A and B are shown apart, each in its own frame.
Chain A
Amino acid sequence: DGGITQSPKYLFRKEGQNVTLSCEQNLNHDAMYWYRQDPGQGLRLIYYSQIVNDFQKGDIAEGYSVSREKKESFPLTVTSAQKNPTAFYLCASSVTTLYTYEQYFGPGTRLTVT
């Protein structure tokens, strides 16, 4: 089955530690995205990548880093510089063609930093 996997589902870290969230897709999509969702709020874009070895900052990139070494993978690192890292993180991918732009989402990772 094609889809997007995110692991782990729940992640706990101590303050001051970097943590990496995994996102893998087997949909052969070119573009991948990371969003952050806080309680009662919509999704905010952290980073996105349209092709391998290239990525762009979204609206709230400070304190986060990404890499895109393979088409299938787009890991997100939450660094200790992120002041409020506890949130729900969603990864998405899409086919970047002229006629379709819907994004397909993974199941998400709930990160708790104490």
Chain B
Amino acid sequence: AQTVTQSQPEMSVQEAETVTLSCTYDTSESDYYLFWYKQPPSRQMILVIRQEAYKQQNATENRFSVNFQKAAKSFSLKISDSQLGDAAMYFCALFQGAQKLVFGQGTRLTINP
């Protein structure tokens, strides 16, 4: 069975600093996709970044980047130059066939001004 684990229920960072959110997953497949979603107080889920497992290069989207370690089944999210608008719940998710996403429990990120 697929599982996604986010071991940090809460994280905080000073504005303009860098923070890394952790995610580990378990799958027996070699082909899959990984995502980070952001859920701000409005509760709208917003896609932050995606990574295809067959790609060795880590995905980046502006201030957001991932560290994808396939052998270790690790998929961390790095947020550089943190901004107040980055405060949200962040969910790691695994897609592996059958059109289903499996989500982690989430990490609540607080940005301190």
Which residues of A are in contact with B by a Cβ distance under 8 Å?
Answer: 31, 33, 40-45, 48, 50, 58, 88, 90, 92, 94, 96, 101-105, 107-108
A-side contacts of B4, CB under 8 Å = 42
B-side contacts of A48, CB under 8 Å = 99-100
Contact B99 A107 (CB under 8 A): no
CA distance A40 to B35 in the complex (A): 19
CA distance A54 to B41 in the complex (A): 34
| B45 sits at the interface (CB 8 A) | yes
| B105 sits at the interface (CB 8 A) | yes
| B101 sits at the interface (CB 8 A) | yes
| B25 sits at the interface (CB 8 A) | no
Query: How many whole Å from B40's CB to the nearest CB in chain A?
Result: 11
Q: Could you tell me which residues of chain B, from 1 to 38, have a CB within 8 Å of some CB in chain A?
A: 4, 9, 33, 35
A-side contacts of B106, CB under 8 Å = 40-42
A-side contacts of B9, CB under 8 Å = 40
Contact B99 A102 (CB under 8 A): no
Question: Which residue of the partner chain B has the closest CB to A43?
Answer: B103
Our count of residue pairs bridging A and B at CB distance below 8 angstroms stands at: 48
Query: How many whole Å from A98's CB to the nearest CB in chain B?
Result: 10
CA distance A42 to B103 in the complex (A): 6
Query: How many whole Å from B12's CB to the nearest CB in chain A?
Result: 17
B-side contacts of A31, CB under 8 Å = 99
B-side contacts of A33, CB under 8 Å = 101
CA distance A31 to B35 in the complex (A): 18
Chain B 88-113 near chain A by CB (<8 Å), digits 1 or 0? 00010001000111011110000000
A-side contacts of B50, CB under 8 Å = 102
Q: Which of B44, B100, B104 has the most CB of A within 10 A?
A: B100
Q: A43-B91, A102-B50 are known contacts. Are A107 and B44 too (CB-CB below 8 A)?
A: yes
CA distance A45 to B94 in the complex (A): 13
A-side contacts of B46, CB under 8 Å = 105
A-side contacts of B62, CB under 8 Å = none
